[in-house]
Amino acid sequence: MSHIKNLIPSTVNPDLQNERSAAEFNVEEFSAWWHGGHDKLKKKREIEKAIFSDLEDGYGLNHEYMSHEEVYNSTVKKVAEAAVKLKALQNKLNPGGTDIWPGGLFNAQSFGLFPANHPVATHITMFVDVIKGQGTAEQVEKWGKAAENCNIIGTYAQTELAHGTNVRGLATRADFDPKTDEFVLNTPNLEAYKWWPGGLGHTANHAMVVAQLYIADVHHGVQMFIVPVRDSETHMPLPGVDIGEIGKKLGMASVNQGFLGLNHVRIPRTNMLMKFAKVERDGTFKASPASRINYLTMVYTRCLIVSQNSTLLLAAATIATRYSAVRRQSPIEPNQPEPQIIDHVTQRLKLFPEIATGIAYHLATEYVWEMYAQTVQEANNGKFERLPDMHILSCALKVLCTTDGCAGIEKLRLSTGGHGYLTAANLSNIYGNAVAAYTYEGRTRYFASSMQLKEFPKWDDSWQCIIKALQYTAAHKTRIAFENLANRMASGQSQGVAANNTGIELTRAAELHGRQFVCQTFLEQITGAKAQKRSPALNKILENVLELFLVQTVLNNLNDILRFIQLSDADLRSLQRRLEDSLEQFRPNAVAICDGFEFHDRVLNSVLGSYDGNVYPRLFDSAKRSTMNQKPVQTSFETYLKPLMKAKL
């Protein structure tokens, strides 16, 4: 317990208050727009008051001083306690819904409830969703409801020790035994062990195992199987199951990622998800009407990743922006008082583009979620035409958002100086969560362009011109990449070898296609029909955010754009001025925009980013909480340090 708790003022830092007073728009209107309306914003606040108000002192920091095992067990306790609150709130505020329970286990508020993350997220976000999306009505009835209520806890076991996103290369086998009407699952070697599934280590008692299906030794592709892995009463591993945790990681301390080996593990035939592909009692296999329907799971996961990573980027931006409004350093004019560091233009360049990037990906994700819902609805009606486009788009967005998000969070951490290196700043945990998503489910994707090449019109500085420039550049990059691919094949290389050797160009073309999509979606969301529902003041602010994002995107990709489009020196100077002007216009509204995201202090969990801006008292308070400071002299002094200091050469 800190001895200086009363040192933290109950008032707001005056510099931060001045920033809020100077805002040029209504923050409440921004928050309502951001969260989908006043009713949703009101419910969000009611939920946060209910789930955060009674948390113990030091709730967000205590786990940092626990052992690895203590962190896990403490988090499981938090999940169990939170479940009671969330279920009660669901019944009170939206009976029959899932937005609070189990939604509260993986939305932005979950970062406040579970500061070390938690081991049930994969269960909720993947195990449950896969059952509901790819199980038959009977399977959903049998497992879906129990899983959604956490009466059974599962995980999604696709990745293997030696295989990741190349699903076709997975080595885990499921052989159908017609005599017993069962599948026999095996991981035939060490490399085939399932590796990384969240919660698998010691939490889940079921696993959604992705395996190669064989019937009479004939291969029938990759399918999904619900496999019990632990006893429902004792939680001991079941016969033939080798299971455990993979060890500590860079972040996500209590997610409890695990390994899984299967040795002749038998499950009923009906444990294979059969909404699309089916195995009949006599061993007859009925293929899915769409060969890649299982990719819907990965499409969902990628959409979720983009949504969460844009949130993490904006959380880091909120922390860094509030800190930059409080921290004073380095006079701009000699012999003048130290200014807020947010007044340094170079600091603004570190902060404001990341806010714009987070908003851009958030809006792109909302659009893609709508497309995903339509794709699922069509798939349920036997129509799969939209699936390839969703697969391509979700791949590109996942790669771009996680790449930009991780780079942005690290830039924001650096913008806070030494204090940002402290665990109590929480930027390291935010980065750990974000970089995990950057790592899993792959990082490199490329695809063909369907854009037509037309002569580029004269550069006119407009937003639409910027987007056309990105589209035109992406199309030309694709054309050149495929020309080189064709030349390599003509010289004798196989298609696979030629594609591998052209991978750099193909990947860059895919990146540009993804960027033009994000820019186009951002433009439509800010200037389209929805703008009529917002006030002129809010639209003006959002248009400047859009301006900053588009101009920064062009400047960051000039090396490719100038290869295909002629811009004069005056055009380039204009872009630089526009960047500087947008940063200047952003300045009086930066803190208020971050306030508009409505991150609860528990969610940010940062001494640098609290709403009250009392940075220095909170920094000192967090230092006093260190377990090292609970006694003035450590035991190692008498045993080792004192003899060392008294020793003679």
| DSSP string computed for 324-339 | HHH-B-S-SSTTSPPP
* 3 has a pLDDT exceeding 60: no
Q: How many CA atoms are closer than 13 Å to the CA of 339, on its beta-carbon side?
A: 12
Residue 249 confidence class, pLDDT cut points 50, 70, 90: very high
Domains of the chain: 10-43+293-444+590-628 (1.20.140.10), 155-286 (2.40.110.10), 463-566 (1.20.140.10)
Does the reported pTM lie above 0.75?
yes
**Residue 300's pLDDT band (boundaries 50, 70, 90)?**
confident
Strands (E), 203-263: 206-215, 218-228, 241-245, 258-262
Token pair 């001494």 in the structure block, residue:
607
Residue range 100-113: average pLDDT? Answer: 94
CA-wise closest residue to 118 among 73, 86, 154, 88: 73
Percent of the chain at pLDDT above 70? 96
> Could you give the CA distance from residue 130 to residue 132 in angstroms, rounded to a whole number?
5
Q: What are phi and psi of 365, to 5 degrees?
A: -65, -40
pLDDT class of 450 with cuts at 50, 70, 90: very low
Q: How far is CA 631 from CA 624, 625, 634, in A?
A: 11, 11, 7
Q: How confident is the model at residue 437 (pLDDT cuts 50, 70, 90)?
A: confident
Q: Looking at the predicted structure, is the pLDDT value of residue 386 above 90? A: no
**Quick check: 408 pLDDT over 90?**
yes
Asked whether residue 159 is marked as a ligand-binding residue, the answer is yes
56 tagged catalytic: no
Q: Count Cβ neighbours within 10 Å for each residue of 135-160 and write b for 16 or more, e otherwise.
A: beeebbebbbebbbebebbbbbbbbb
Burial of 25 per CB tally in 10 Å (0-12, 13-18, 19+) = buried
442 falls in which pLDDT band (50, 70, 90)?
low
292 — pLDDT class (breaks 50, 70, 90): low
**Non-local CB neighbours of 631 within 8 Å, separated by 6+ positions:** none
* Residue 294: per-residue pLDDT: 65
Of 490, 511, 489, nearest in space to 500 by CA: 489
- Asked if residues 230 and 237 have their Cβ atoms less than 8 Å apart, the reply is yes
Chain segment 197-240, per-residue pLDDT in tens: 999 999 999 999 999 999 999 999 999 999 999 999 999 999 99
d(CA 173, CA 209): 10
The verdict on whether residue 75 carries a ligand-binding annotation is no
Least confident of 341-355, 408-422, 442-456: 442-456
Mean pLDDT of 585-590: 98
Query: What does the pLDDT average to over 333-340?
Result: 94
Distance CA 389, CA 295 (A): 12
Q: Is the bond preceding 102 in cis, omega lying within 30 degrees of 0?
A: yes
- List, for residues 133-156, the tens digit of each pLDDT value: 999 999 999 999 999 999 999 999
Q: How far apart are CA 161 and CA 222, in angstroms?
A: 17
Over the stretch 530-565, which tens digit does the pLDDT of each residue have?
A: 999 999 999 999 999 999 999 999 999 999 999 999
pLDDT at 5: 52
Which is catalytic among the residues 19, 64, 160, 441? 441
Q: Write the pLDDT tens digit of every residue in 506-525.
A: 999 999 999 999 999 999 99
Q: What is the DSSP letter of 424?
A: G
Whether residue 1 has pLDDT greater than 50:
no
Average pLDDT, whole number, for the chain?
94
What is the pLDDT at residue 452? 59
Residue 449, pLDDT above cutoff 60: no
Pairing of strands 265-268, 258-262: unpaired
Residues above pLDDT 90, as percent of the chain: 87
pLDDT above 70 (res 33)? yes
pLDDT one-digit tens code per residue, 163-193: 887 888 999 999 999 999 999 999 999 999 9
